[in-house]
Amino acid sequence: MSAAATDPRPVLITGGAGFIGANLADALAAAGHRVIVYDALTRPGVARNLTWLQSRHGERIEPVVADIRDGGRVADCAARAQAVFHFAAQVAVTTSLTDPRDDFEVNIAGTLGLLEALRTRAPATPLIFASTNKVYGDLGDMAFSLEGDAYVPDDPALAANGVGEDRPLDFHTPYGCSKGAADQYVLDYARSFGMRTAVLRMSCIYGQRQMGTEDQGWVAHFLIRALERQPITLYGDGCQVRDILDVSDAVAAYRAAWSRIETVGGRAFNLGGGPANAVSLRRLLGHIGALLGRPVEVDYADWRAGDQRYFVADTRAATAALGLGARVPWRDGVARLAHWLAAERGLPLARDAAE
């Protein structure tokens, strides 16, 4: 019997109208759960995501339009939830450099307020936190070689498996500091107070309902710019490598973390596409050009603060502990996102459709 059939309480998703939150809310509502979608609706496109969720699931979606720093609203929602997924955040490195205080207040104070609400009013309620690979810093101590259009680690084990959870934390930029501190608070509340929390340190997640910008959601951003025949700016040389993960696989991981919280509580896991889904920015642009039937226009600019030349997650721990299956191959997932974005914007995907 499913949790939805035995526990009538809703699931709380902070940042629930955002890209990953909306996909998770959709999956949980489809499985029979009531979902509190808690979101300030400040990012472009998220209001559309909320409307989409309500049109699909009706009264199973309870919208709460509020800031994560609104302690009273957060506490009221947390107190009646059977589980909490915490996505609400300031998500851009560039924004954190412009306004570090706001970044701090949202990412650290907002997370602490949520943890305290649970500790004082619902200490048995599980909380799964969306963290980031930025907690590992810029990996500047690692040696890489340039092979074709991609950086490759000189360490064979790192090249084969990616960066593991045993990598020392090294917060860079205010964003890295705030998300890293929140990450550690979530883990410590399991240690200090016996709460059932877990952390997923995400690589680059992409997929349907992603309204990407230059600062966040870069896979969708590349596709949107290419579909609109606008140039794409690469910061650095474009040979940076990331392991990209389709949002359907991310949703499966979050649901698994909740269902297995008794065994994974107090742990942090790297969540990404792994070595099989590692791709350089240039290689991804080549694939986008193939999908569109025309080359993509590219400009170059200086490297940005804290940018990693290489990050591929070692996903073995998450795969084993969460029972994860095979990931969507990146070429298939990017093609699927391209078709969705083209349909959303009423734009042709291939050159022959435009002429």
The domain that holds 271 is classified in CATH as 3.40.50.720
Q: Distance between CA 129 and CA 187 in Å, rounded?
A: 9
Which of 2-6, 79-83, 253-257 has the least mean pLDDT? 2-6
Q: What is the pLDDT confidence band of residue 195, given thresholds at 50, 70 and 90? A: very high
Residue 280 covered by a domain: yes
185: annotated active-site residue = no
Nearest to 85 by CA among 326, 256, 206: 256
Q: Count structural domains, the chain.
A: 1
Q: Which residue has the higher pLDDT, 132 or 211?
A: 132
Q: Give a yes or no: residue 42 inside a domain.
A: no
Catalytic residue among 38, 136, 151, 175: 175
Q: Are 274 and 203 in contact (CB under 8 A)?
A: no
Give residue-wise pLDDT tens across range 93-150: 889 999 999 999 999 999 999 999 999 999 999 999 999 999 999 898 999 999 999 9
Is 0.85 surpassed by the pTM of this model? yes
Does residue 228 register a pLDDT over 60? yes
The DSSP-derived string for 134-146 is: GGGTT-TTS-EEE
User: Whose structure tokens read 């939830």?
Assistant: 81
Q: How far apart are CA 84 and CA 306, in angstroms?
A: 30
Boundaries of domain holding 258: 89-354
d(CA 196, CA 24): 20
Task: With respect to residue 110, please indicate whether it lies within any of the assigned structural domains.
Answer: yes
Q: How high is the pLDDT of residue 94?
A: 87
